């Protein structure tokens, strides 16, 4: 991975939203945007670390969910968060 250098319009700013990070991790962005983010991650250790952290966190949560399943109180809290936005 390179230094924290930013090149061009799409690479001069860091990943703009957590939603975009999630879409990237889930493979839900179009090929052009996904390629732009790939390039950015090769040159920005801050964003690379953020994406890697989110991947690890998701893997951990998925593993724990399979082992234990979500509690009813957790499901209610998550639903309340999304309904309040």
% of the chain with per-residue pLDDT over 90: 35
Q: How confident is the model over 34-58, as pLDDT tens digits?
A: 999 999 999 999 899 989 999 999 8
C-alpha 17/C-alpha 42 separation (Å) is 18
Neighbouring residues of 58: CB distance < 8 A, sequence distance ≥ 6: 25
Question: Which pTM was predicted?
Answer: 0.59
Q: How far apart are CA 57 and CA 74, in angstroms?
A: 17
Domain ranges of the chain: 18-84
- The confidence band for 4, taking pLDDT boundaries of 50, 70 and 90, is very low
List the structure tokens of 31.
């090929």
pLDDT confidence of residue 71: 73
User: 67-79 pLDDT, tens per residue?
Assistant: 776 677 877 888 8
Rg (CA), the chain: 16
């Amino acid at each position: 991975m390179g230094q924290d250098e930013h090149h061009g319009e799409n690479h001069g700013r860091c990943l703009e939203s957590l939603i975009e990070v999630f879409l990237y991790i889930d493979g839900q962005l179009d090929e052009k945007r996904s390629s732009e983010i790939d390039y950015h991650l090769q040159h920005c250790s801050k964003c690379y670390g953020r994406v890697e952290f989110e991947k690890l966190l998701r893997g951990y949560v998925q593993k724990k969910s399979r082992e234990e399943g979500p509690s009813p109180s957790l499901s209610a809290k998550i639903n309340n968060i999304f309904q309040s936005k």
